[in-house]
Structure 1
Amino acid sequence: MRLIVNGSALEVEAETLGHALDALDYGDAKVATAVNGAFVPAAARATKRLEDGDRIEIVAPRQGG
């Protein structure tokens, strides 16, 4: 399915956000996620269904000051 990931259009074989993260090689990385502007907690990623054209934001924490 076609997804917009961090502003880039990608073809991703995934039915859920959890599967999409695996397909995009995020695996067990500590990241924050949102679908169509709504925050999705880590515990809900496995059941958050995706639709063609959904916008996914993936943000990794940064160190520093």
Structure 2
Amino acid sequence: MEAFSLVINGESRSFPEPLTVSGLVEALDLTGKRVAVERNGEIVPRSQHGETRLVNGDKLEIVVAVGGG
């Protein structure tokens, strides 16, 4: 089976199988962190992370919110 490729924050990454947004967040070890995900130029609401399936070649920007002052 061919690798599943995504562009994440400008960097090409391969995964063994297709993912949902929440699966990607877990694969990147960001579970439980406050993240914003943009897919192909559109924000994916957190409520839709579990049902939004990523497609080979999708371009994502993932931003982790950092507290502080």
- TM-score, length basis structure 1: 0.87
Deviations 1:32-60 (A, max 9, x none): 11110100011100000110000111012
For structure 2, which runs of at least 5 residues remain unmatched after alignment?
A: none
Matched, 1:31 2:29: no
Is 1:6–1:57's contact at 8 Å kept on the other side of the alignment?
Answer: yes
Residue of structure 2 in register with 1:11 after alignment: 14
Aligned pairs for 1:25-64 (under 5 A) are 25-62=29-66, 63-64=68-69
Identity of aligned residues (%): 34
- TM-score, length basis structure 2: 0.83
> Structure 1 residue 61: deviation in Å?
2.1
Runs of 4+ in 1 over 4 A off after TM superposition: none
Q: Whole-Å Cα distance in 2 between the matches of residues 26 and 32 of structure 1?
A: 11
For structure 1, which runs of at least 5 residues remain unmatched after alignment?
A: none
Please tell me whether Structure 1 or Structure 2 has the larger radius of gyration of its CA atoms: 2
Q: Whole-Å Cα distance in 2 between the matches of residues 25 and 14 of structure 1?
A: 17
Q: Which amino acid aligns with 2:41?
A: G
